């Protein structure tokens, strides 16, 4: 059973507001559990009927897109070196990766990066710094955010529908599965990039 306090919070607006803020913050701070919040509300939506699943997807899409666009604005109108965290080694490495990928295919990179925390931050900053046209960027970001939000909410909804044991079990399992899938996607992309780098170094003329 869902505790009464949690049930009251879910039926009110606060659950969606909290999730929206977490997803928005996740665009800048990778430790913020935006994905977890969307997956958890997706599961609760199926178990309790509130908030509606469409509202979860819609709010998550809007928050994710706005967060990405704010990162783009920082890259375009502020600087990639403005704050200390932008100069961190891992962020610098991710920015170099993003710059190389954006040269070959903007759409694919924006969709892929939506599922990889550091890559998402770097891609949006670099997209702004390299002045990718705003209409094209915004259209791609909204589509990518919608796909991401639908996926995260669907994972929670799916396990809430098929797992016995109540919503807490569904939330726990769906969050773990979402994290594992995200980690696997990250690992596969990194392995592909390393393989490409080795191939390029092997065929590069002396």
pLDDT, position 23? 92
Predicted confidence pLDDT, tens digits, the chain (206 residues): 445 555 555 556 788 999 999 999 988 887 778 888 898 888 888 877 778 999 999 999 999 999 999 988 988 887 666 656 566 666 666 666 666 666 666 677 777 777 776 778 878 888 888 788 888 888 889 988 998 899 888 888 887 787 766 556 666 666 676 667 666 766 676 676 667 666 666 655 55
In the chain, how many domains are there? 1
* Model confidence, pTM: 0.73
What's the alpha-carbon Rg for the chain, to the nearest Å?
Answer: 19
pLDDT, position 1? 44
Domain of 26?
Answer: 4-203
Cβ-based burial of 188 (10 A; exposed 0-12, middle 13-18, buried ≥19): exposed
Instruction: Return d(Cα 68, Cα 49) in angstroms, integer.
Output: 30
pLDDT, position 150? 92
CB atoms within 10 A of CB 196: 10
Instruction: Return d(Cα 177, Cα 126) in angstroms, integer.
Output: 30
């Amino acid at each position: 059973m869902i505790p009464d306090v949690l049930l009251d919070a879910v039926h009110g607006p606060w659950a969606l507001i909290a999730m929206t803020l977490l997803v928005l913050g996740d665009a800048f701070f990778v430790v913020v559990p935006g994905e977890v919040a969307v997956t958890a509300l997706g599961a609760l939506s199926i178990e309790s009927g509130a908030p509606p699943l469409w509202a979860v997807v819609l709010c998550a899409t809007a928050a994710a897109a706005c967060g990405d666009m704010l990162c783009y604005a920082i890259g375009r109108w502020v600087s990639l070196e403005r704050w200390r965290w932008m100069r961190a080694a891992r962020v610098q490495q991710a920015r170099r990766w993003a710059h190389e990928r954006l040269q070959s295919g903007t759409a694919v990179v924006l969709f892929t990066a939506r599922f990889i925390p550091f890559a998402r931050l770097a891609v949006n900053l670099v997209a702004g710094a390299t002045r990718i046209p705003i209409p094209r960027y915004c259209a791609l970001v909204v589509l990518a955010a919608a796909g991401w939000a639908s996926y995260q909410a669907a994972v929670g909804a799916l396990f809430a529908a098929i797992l016995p044991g109540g919503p807490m079990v569904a939330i726990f399992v769906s969050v773990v599965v979402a994290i594992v899938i995200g980690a696997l996607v990250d690992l596969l992309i990194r392995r592909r990039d390393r393989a490409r780098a080795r191939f390029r170094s092997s065929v590069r003329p002396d």
